[in-house]
Structure 1
Amino acid sequence: MDRRVFTFYLAFFLLLTGCTVFAGCVGEETNQQAQPGTATPTPTPRAEPPNDGAVYFSGAGDQKTVMPLSSGVHLLTFEIEKTDGSEPVASKVSISSEKDDIMVEGNYTAEVRPDAIIDGNYRWTYAFMLSEDANTTVEVSQLAPWTLHFGVPKMINGIPPQTFSGIGNTATPFFMIPAGNYSCQIKGENMTVISVELMDYNGTMLMDGDLVAPLAFHGLRNDDFELYVGDYATTVPVTIKEGDNYLFNIVCDGSWSVEFSPVK
């Protein structure tokens, strides 16, 4: 994927709003959220992850570190500790190397925050691709105590039709999509912005001309061009030219669902 196109899309998206990323899929649902707290500038990169193959980085407040990451598709999982009496604020994570720049924000509208807490924490995910092995610069912006780790996306044994739903930013597991024509029904509730991307197993985004997110990129705006909280629904035709394992990246600050079905 052209780095300039991907960087332009992310920059444009961040101008619209702070958004988030992780949810559930086919029979399982995962909710996430971001939140503030007391900043303590002491990053703690951990070189001994607990047997899951992930690389960890934790701290509180704005932090920056350098860590080695391999080429290929990674799953970014960001957890924010829920502190008493505090409301979540937008989180921002950026990963950069000589050839790649990835930036994503996570946030929740007030309407979905109560349902976005998992085991006492807010959590969101996003899948991204690095073009080569690199010592990457990782920067995190979040007031509350947080933990960031990089692993690999899960995979499910299934083909369309598939349905995914959740709250906040979410990278779904990989699933097999044979070549053909499909219908992608996208719904968002209590949200200001939703974006849906389709990524193949090699980390290549499904493109429509120069658009990185051809399935949906929509911000709810009033007559003064200000974002507001509301609902959204659309159905998008999708043509898969090469059968492969794909995953969805959903960036949304509300609740959402994606139904992907073959066209008969």
Structure 2
Amino acid sequence: MVTPVLPVQGDHVALVLADDSEIAVQIDGVAADGRLNVTVTRVGAQTAPGVDDEFILRWANDRGRHCAWVRLVSFSSVVQWDLELISGIQSLQERQYVRCGSSESASLTRTIVEGVTYHGEVADLSERSVRLRLRVEGFANTVSAAGDPAAENSPDEDLPDEDLPDEGSPDEATPLRVNELVAVDMQLSGGAFSAPGTVLRAGAVHGQRMTVVVLLDVSDRQADMLRQYVFASLRRARQERDRR
């Protein structure tokens, strides 16, 4: 397993603000305690950040793509900032987006089987994919939770081919097909959200419940909406941990 590392002097990275705007910066120095001295090279934010504001730092190196939470500690000029690392480093795969856990209500409707809708909740969510835990009634074939790869993996993680049903064919332990077209409805904090999607993984049914990963077909505006929801949820979760 490759261990993620902080960016190094000279790297160009991005800071993502709470409003989803980005600030491009260059790393000038990295201290042993995780503090970063940076120079702002491009500002896409409408509001200038202040001391103690928090951002998501995103960067790429020869070990992959990564992100972490940082705090603006001080600045000696408009473009010279000191940042403090305030979270662990999350490694991102090529198709992966920053995501959050959730428990919002959701439903999935099959488009190839009229009138079939499964209800449940959001397990986690990114701007392009969602993992749902759904209630399934009246489905005879079930397996134990230990045989359910989708229940153990996040939306953008790759699974070995042998763990997935054949493309376009139903698995004996799940009513859904990989690559099946579906419609997803979610009740997020900002209101109702609906989008078509494609089943990426369909976990086996156990205890009349199954876990399904759906690749969402969303517009840029919808992706922005989901991204802002994810960042706001991550921020709230981290603030709650800090208060404990």
TM range (shorter): under 0.3
TM-score relative to the length of structure 1: 0.24
Q: Which has the higher contact order (CA 8 A, sep 6+)?
A: 1
Q: Give the strand-richer structure, 1 or 2.
A: 1
TM-score relative to the length of structure 2: 0.26
Larger radius of gyration: 2
